[in-house]
Amino acid sequence: MERKWGKVFGDAAYRQWKWHVASKNREKISSNPHNQKGIFAFLRGGFLPFIWIKAKSEKGTESSSSLPEDSIAALYLSLESGKFWFPAQVYNRENGHAGFMLSCYDAQLCYDSRSDTFLARYSPHGRWTTEENIQWDRLRVPPIATSPHALHISDCLDDLRPGDHIEIQWRRNKEFPYGWWYGVIGHLEQCQGHGNHCHCHYNDIVILEFTQYTAGSRWRQTVINRKHHIEKGNEIDGFYGGIRKLHSKEEIARWKNLWPTKIVIHD
């Protein structure tokens, strides 16, 4: 279980699984008034600890119908069969569409064992949109617990300096959810040097660069004030929200592996 699912199935997905199981048990109890004791015992007792174990079904000793519904084995079978949709994030949604290059969006996912890929459902505003044939390497567990509809409170603004790798929330308008976009901190225009001669990190103005876009594109660069930044933007350029500074070499390498083969032309 851990070997296959550990990098895409996180705490938020497990919480959704617990609610899914609880909901199924409530339905059973409500349809059987003589068994009211069961649901309360179930809720008081809680769930089995979330320890990655090998599903009993792999040993051929249990059928799915005889497994405890709150067991890891039952969860494993639900994931493998595609019966359970779970939350995760998808890099470069809509198969690398230029408008989503080097972004990561929240989605509900289910697994297709025949193709060893995933189906995603995104909820921008109004109707759901879907995407098929998503490979494992385009998925991740959300690194923080912030809802896609909530502004992330940045705690790194005072530490940002040129060369730092970041993710920043962006949304087209205030009705849409945020996605996370990869960028780097750039130098101020008046900066005359690098290294020990650079004083950009003492300035309240911070340059955010998205170098996957062509020079001159309105998406190539934006500016924030590190002392007052909460959310900035408008209905034309969208709204820039909270910022995460990336410290993990693995996270940074993953973004670089997704880098487009040519600069994105997107005005």
Q: Are residues 164 and 103 in the same domain?
A: no
Q: Which of 81, 97, 128 is the last residue of a domain?
A: 81
Q: Is the pLDDT of residue 194 over 90?
A: no
> What is the rounded distance in angstroms from the CA atom of residue 110 to the CA atom of residue 32?
30
Q: Which two tokens stand for residue 15?
A: 């919480």
SS3 content of the chain, % helix, strand, coil (to 5): 30, 25, 40
Q: What is the mean pLDDT of residues 132-151?
A: 95
Q: How many domains does the chain have?
A: 3
CA dist 74 and 64 (Å) reads 7
42 within some domain: yes
pLDDT band at 35 (very low <50, low <70, confident <90, very high): low
Same structural domain, 59 and 112: no
Q: Is residue 210 part of a domain?
A: yes
Q: Confidence class of residue 49 from pLDDT cuts 50, 70 and 90?
A: very low
97 and 66 part of one domain: no
Q: Cβ distance 193 to 185 under 8 Å? A: no
Residue 11 lies in a domain: yes
Given a cut of 80, whether residue 44 has pLDDT beyond it is no
CA-based diameter of the chain, in Å? 79
Question: Smallest Cα–Cα separation from 129: which of 161, 162, 152, 107?
Answer: 107
Q: What is the pLDDT of residues 50-95, one digit of tens each?
A: 333 333 334 444 444 556 666 788 888 888 988 999 999 999 998 8
Query: What is the rounded CA–CA span in Å between residue 208 and residue 168?
Result: 9
Same domain, 239 and 166: yes
Helix spans in 8-167 (H): 11-31, 36-45, 72-81, 93-96
Same-domain status, 253 and 184: yes
**What separation in angstroms does the CA of 55 have from each of 100, 136, 184?**
37, 21, 42
Beta pairing class for 103-112 and 232-234: unpaired
Task: Kindly state whether residue 262 falls inside one of the protein's structural domains.
Answer: no
Same domain, 116 and 198: no
Enclosing domain of residue 189: 157-257
Flag whether 134 is in a domain: yes
Do 101 and 77 reside in the same domain of the chain?
no
Specify the pLDDT at position 40. Answer: 41
Residues 22 and 60 in one domain: yes
Residue with tokens 């199981």: 21
CA-derived radius of gyration, the chain: 22
Q: Does residue 145 lie within any of the structural domains?
A: no
Tell me the per-residue pLDDT of 211-244, one tens digit each, with 9 for 90 and over. 999 988 999 999 999 999 999 999 999 999 999 9
**Residue 176 shares a structural domain with residue 250:** yes
Whether 149 is covered by a domain: the verdict is: no
Q: Do 24 and 66 share a structural domain?
A: yes
Q: Note whether residue 148 is domain-resident.
A: no
Q: Are residues 107 and 40 in the same domain?
A: no
Q: Are residues 161 and 246 in the same domain?
A: yes
